[in-house]
Copies of this chain bind each other. A is one copy, B any other.
Amino acid sequence: MALSLASVLSKSEDVVGSDHSSVVSINLFVALLCACIIIGHLLEENRWMNESITALAIGLCTGVVILLTSGGKSSRLLVFSEDLFFIYLLPPIIFNAGFQVKKKQFFRNFMTIVLFGAVGTLISTGVISIGAMHFFKKMNIGSLDIGDYLAIGAIFSATDSVCTLQVLNQDETPLLYSLVFGEGVVNDATSVVFFNAIQSFDLSHINSSVAMQFFGNFLNLFVSSTILGVLAGLLSAYIIKKLYFGRHSTDREVALMILMAYLSYMLAELFYLSAILTVFFCGIVMSHYTWHNVTESSRVTTRHAFATLSFVAEIFIFLYVGMDALDIEKWKFVSHSPRTSVGVSAILLGLVLVGRAAFVFPLSFLSNLTKKSSYEKIDIKQQVTIWWAGLMRGAVSMALAYNQFTISGHTQLRGSAIMITSTITVVLFSTVVRHYLICV
């Protein structure tokens, strides 16, 4: 059994999408998803565990099993694919977050959220980039140019909205939830602009006109993405209301809502906008307008179907990150110099802490100046929680790291391999350790 499994799995590495080996992978993946749900449910009474930690753990275990059965050749069922992540898994999660978000709370803090997401991300990126440049130049970790350092800053400034959803509770701490989650969404728009800027601007000559252009780009992207999402939501509401869809069929209403939300995401991708921002606002508009125009059974169905989709996608991501963490190819480079690798990970973790502190406290202070009632102000305890809760780095960081440092899922250079493994270390460490610290 072990042998035949190994031979099938080593095949699946080469030709994903081929006949029988992909069937084996899908079977294993779906079975593991079921296991995560059941075990996550059984452990729910236990405050130390939840579905995402379970999924991470099961993913790691599966990785070990595959690694052993394949004789140390492979630990993955599928090569990490950005497409899979950005085209299929992320849209339902972010859409559902917009669909279920408490709108009143979100819009009351809108300016603060944008401040955190835009200015804060830039500050954090700057701190991490400069810090990385300072420390890594003295270490022997292969060649990294200024673009790579800025990319490192952007990667480790990406607050993971997916993880945030798992940790903060919207009903218990609505203010913190809306601030940290909203920041994560706006953060994405900043990242898109930033990544484009790294690739298109001449980074050796940064002057005020480049900075102005950068600011203009961000504003343009932010406004266009939001408008696209709002328009898609309003259009779905108009069509469903005007054409009396519910008169005939619940299924059509639900199908149309899902398809139009997905269309808004893909259109944003098409025009190089921030798809996360678009689908988030589409979710908000749909829950505010479209949802009230559909039949009663459509309301129940959409509320739960969207939540289910998002739930499955989240578990899928955690399972995947856990499984991918053990990929042998990347660790090969690292095993020659374990100390360097541990050092890099530790430095990055430290920089993440400092970079986040560098904007949360000053910006909270600024934000408090504009608020009159003390009730609306962010007190120091809440500031610490915001700093702390947004530290988690997750699937988005992983995807960005893969984008910058690999060529079609394979790691080629020593420096890139160290960066990928450090990203994994930081993601695993921040997710697991933070989870336990919050439980305590």
Contact = CB atoms under 8 A, between A and B. Distances in A.
Interface of A: 17, 19-20, 22-24, 26-27, 30-31, 33-34, 37-38, 41-42, 44, 83, 87, 239, 243, 245, 248-252, 254-256, 258-260, 262-263, 266-267, 269-270, 297-298, 300-301, 304-305, 307-308, 311-312
B259 A30 contact: yes
A19 B83 CA distance: 8
A304 B251 contact: yes
A4 to B, nearest CB: 12
A259 B251 CA distance: 20
Contacts of A20: 270
B300 A34 contact: no
B33 A259 contact: yes
Nearest to A315: B255
30 contacts: A20-B270, A22-B83, A22-B87, A23-B269, A27-B267, A27-B270, A30-B259, A30-B263, A30-B266, A31-B263, A33-B259, A34-B263, A37-B256, A37-B259, A38-B256, A41-B248, A44-B248, A250-B307, A251-B304, A251-B311, A254-B305, A254-B308, A255-B308, A258-B308, A258-B312, A297-B304, A301-B305, A301-B308, A304-B305, A305-B305
A273 to B, nearest CB: 12
Given A27-B270, A270-B24, A301-B300, A252 B41 contact: yes
B298 A252 contact: no
A37 B252 contact: yes
Contact of A251 (B24, B42, B263, B307): B307
B262 A30 contact: yes
A300 B294 CA distance: 14
Contacts of A266: 23, 26-27, 30
Contacts of A24: 270
Q: How many copies does the complex hold?
A: 2
Contacts of A83: 17, 19, 22
Query: Which one of A34, A270, A298, A304 has the greatest number of beta carbons of chain B within 10 Å?
Result: A304
B41 A263 contact: no
Given A17-B83, A251-B304, A259-B312, 18 more contacts: A22-B83, A24-B270, A30-B259, A31-B263, A34-B256, A34-B259, A37-B255, A41-B248, A42-B243, A44-B248, A251-B307, A255-B311, A255-B312, A300-B300, A300-B301, A301-B301, A301-B304, A301-B308
A270 B8 CA distance: 12
Contact of A270 (B23, B239, B243, B307): B23
Contacts of A298: 304
Contact of A250 (B27, B263, B304): B304
A104 B131 CA distance: 71
A287 to B, nearest CB: 16
A34 B311 contact: no
A192 B226 CA distance: 50
A243 B311 contact: no
Contacts of A308: 250-251, 254-255, 258, 301, 305
Contacts of A255: 37, 308, 311-312
Contacts of A41: 243, 245, 248-249, 252
A7 to B, nearest CB: 15
